[in-house]
Amino acid sequence: MNFTPLFSRFRTFLAGVGALGLGTFFFFTEMAHAQETSTSYPKQHRLTFDEYESTLRFWRSQHPKWMTLERRAICAESLPVYLVKITDSSVPDKDKQVCLVTALHSGPERTGATGTLAVMEWLLGDSPDAVETRRKQIVLFMPIINPLAMFYTDRFRNDHGVDPYTGLGRVGKVWDIKKLSLIKPEDAPELAALVSVVDQYQPEVHADLHGTGLQEYPPDQLGSRQMYQGQIMTEITGSAYSNYALRPWDWRITEAMIAAGREAGFPSDRFEADAERAFWGPELAPLGGKLWHGMPLFYSAHYGYAKYHTMICTQEVSWEQSVVARMQGLFRIGNQVWNDERVAGYPVNRVRHFVGNFVTAVGTNSAECRRSRVELWGRQENFALGFLYPQTAGRASFVCAVNAAAKKAVAAHDIPALIQNLKALPGAASENLARFLKVGPELKLAMDTPEPQLLAAKNDAELPLEHGIGFRLRVPYQKAANLQVCLNGEPLKRADLDGYESWTADGFTQIQVNLSPAKARATGLFFITCGYEPERDGRMAWMPPADVQKQCATVQADATPPTHTDLPYGAHFHQNMDVWLAHSDKPSPMVFYVHGGGWAAQDKTDIHQHLNVRAFLNAGISVASINYRLLQDANAAKISPPVRWPLGDAARALQFVRSKAGEWHLDKGRIAVTGVSAGGCSSLWLAFHDDLADPQSADPVARESTRTYAAAVVAPVVSLDPRQVRTWIPNAIFGAHAFGFAEMNRKDSFEPFLAARDKYLPDIKRYSPFELVGKDAPPVFVEFPNQDKLPVRGDPQTDPSHSALSGVMLEEKMKALGASMELRYKNDGRTGHKDIQEYLMDLFSK
């Protein structure tokens, strides 16, 4: 285990602990007498080169049908780097998986090399697992990559100063990571040998074994001391402490190996999981003391992954018997069907993904799959993937564009544009595909590549796929029925090749589409669609409690979905509206609703608590309900007075609606405003205010009128003048927050507002509806359904902010001006319309 690349803060720590040798994790107890130490911990036999070479030749002579021995390089002192191949020669190689086992740390970490030899010895034996592995796999062994270190120096580096494990030379890396080549291969014949083996076999798995040693000691300190019996370390499966990128991508593989070791009596550390620490990255560097210590680095074992999508699996070895058991667990994975797959083999064939969909290798045997995997892996970075969004029950899709023309075709903003693009793409726009796209609720094709990159794609050096291509879709139902799988609109049959397979695994209905080389070469766009019947109701099940649903009119809201939802009329996220458009032969009138909540709470959806939207639509009346910037938004932006924003937004939203009159088939002259409480105040302010249209504006929305046909409001705030409302209602407390007074509670904030009233009088006159009433005011209907007593001026009110007394005062002023107003409150003894719904229905029926 090499700790050289750990964070610099740990280098100081390692230097301080000195002879503890944390790099090998061995535990040494200082004995009282040297004689006792020698007796308790005798020296371990040091394997010689002659023993190593003779063992390999002996095994080859004993098992000529299973084992071959090949010299792949000559290193310092004329020492060879051997490659051992173990497989059952009676079984064709094309049907086998390939697993490479190395000990890149061989020498300083000796048990990695001896563990590799122990695994070889087991694999040459007669156990059922060994026999099955030989029949189903080619297992390649390079037990001693650095023979100079193993047999002579006990140092990581070769005679040219190169460490085969990390790829570090005397000055930096010997790897050109971008080109995936060695900068000076003559300085690293050991690595050149590794590269040649990986290039030749393109293995599915590369397992690299590390182990115990004394590499942390400098030679002058080590002296004649060698490894001794009883030197151990913490065993690790599937990763390395210094480099957390040296691991299988599927933690279940690691767990299967750990389980095999545990069954044999050996434990294993799970690195960051057992340490209960999160991974780190550059932005998290300030939290380094709380994160996992390893780094993501490029080491020599990454070569196979980077070039061929080979799965990496590193292990730390204390006991050879342990790594034999853990490697048996790994070999079983290659011999069996993995998890949600269909055929036996290591899980290495998914070469590109996008949100649970995968581009996969294809083939009728292991060799064909390997060729496909390597080709797709080398080209996958240039693929563009996507699916129809939002994802929808009963419909699955996956898109892969592999050339410039296909990429440009899928660079569409929406479904209609996509259909048009596909029509211009030869061979990829059948009516079936267009029909599938048209009937779906999806809004767009979501792609993993930004639109500018799709549109800028070039055809330079684009070649057709030579070894086929596959796709995996996973339908989130265990039993999806009546599958209808199509490629570019053409139905696919159930078939191993040029068709699809389906099965249930891991909770999904797995759909695998396999295309032959000829089929893959025929197009640059692979648009897979799948219709199916879900096994269960996919609707969201949870609902609020019944009392809450009743309070919020949930049933009514769900029963009347808007024509346009959250339609923006400004840049702020609160500036949006819902719009219901009535079907009418002539331009329809509109009810324009402003929600209440003291301009500080609630939402446009509360319209259903006060109005029957469906009844309006049935009567040919369109409806809009708006959100607006709240007082807290205005305060955050330092707007004075803050009420300017909610009232101004109501005007802007009304102008926006009028700007859409032609598109929405509206009668812009017949728009009635309505609202409750503060929303009623906003509505009255619009109704009484002079027209805010700016005919000279460059903004077409701002040129629209803000005048209203009528206003119908519930419990509105009529006046924002604190002195005025106190003369009407002696316990009035509403309005201070509209002018920026901190509202701990309305009562406490009202008194300072009242005291400073004269200072705010210009703004009060500008924003209080009562100040704006004129003889040209439109007809107004005002109701106070919760008034609990006769509204008498000067009497305290139960709900002073929503008292019918303010309505009485407004009625007096409007009548004096000759303007029309109808006032209703509980037990008023009057006749007329019972509520705003009836008033508005009657208003627009004339």
And the tokens for 748? 């406490």
Nearest CA-CA partner of 398 in 489, 528, 512: 528
User: What is the predicted pLDDT for the residue at 30?
Assistant: 38
User: What is the predicted pLDDT for the residue at 223?
Assistant: 64
Q: How far apart, in whole angstroms, are the C-alpha atoms of residue 348 and residue 558?
A: 47
pLDDT < 50 regions, the chain: 2-38
Q: What angle do CA 574, 576, 579 make, to 5 degrees?
A: 150
How does pLDDT run across 128-182, given as a tens digit for each residue?
999 999 999 999 999 999 999 999 888 889 999 999 999 999 999 999 999 999 9
And the tokens for 24? 């090998």
Q: How many CA atoms lie within 13 A of 635 on its CB side?
A: 12
User: What is the predicted pLDDT for the residue at 228?
Assistant: 83
User: What is the predicted pLDDT for the residue at 36?
Assistant: 47
* 596 neighbors 607 (Cβ within 8 angstroms): no
Contacts made by residues 658-666, CB under 8 angstroms, sequence distance 24+: 658/704, 658/705, 659/700, 659/701, 659/704, 661/587, 664/579, 664/581, 664/622, 665/581, 665/584, 665/587, 665/588, 666/587, 666/588, 666/589, 666/590, 666/622
User: What is the predicted pLDDT for the residue at 423?
Assistant: 87
How does pLDDT run across 447-480, given as a tens digit for each residue?
999 999 999 998 876 789 999 999 999 999 999 9
Q: Which residues pair with 578 in a beta bridge?
A: 625
* 596 neighbors 608 (Cβ within 8 angstroms): no
**Amino acid in position 783:** E
User: What is the predicted pLDDT for the residue at 225?
Assistant: 63
What is the SS3 assignment for 311-346?
A: EEEEEEECCHHHHHHHHHHHHHHHHCECCCCCCECC
Domain formed by 65-214+237-279+297-335, architecture: 3-Layer(aba) Sandwich (3.40)
User: What is the predicted pLDDT for the residue at 348?
Assistant: 98
* 317 neighbors 111 (Cβ within 8 angstroms): yes
How does pLDDT run across 711-759, given as a tens digit for each residue?
999 999 999 999 999 999 999 999 999 999 976 677 889 999 999 999 9
Q: Where exactly are the structural domains of the chain?
A: 65-214+237-279+297-335, 350-533, 556-714
Instruction: For residue 657, report the phi and psi dihedrals to the nearest 5 degrees.
Output: -60, -45
**Distance in angstroms between the alpha carbons of the first and the last residue of the chain:** 89
Nearest CA-CA partner of 473 in 428, 494, 503: 503
User: What is the predicted pLDDT for the residue at 3?
Assistant: 45
> Does the domain at residues 556-714 carry the CATH identifier 3.90.79.10?
no
User: What is the predicted pLDDT for the residue at 540?
Assistant: 72
Q: Which residues pair with 782 in a beta bridge?
A: 713, 823
| Overall residue count recorded for the chain in this entry | 846
Q: Which residues pair with 743 in a beta bridge?
A: none
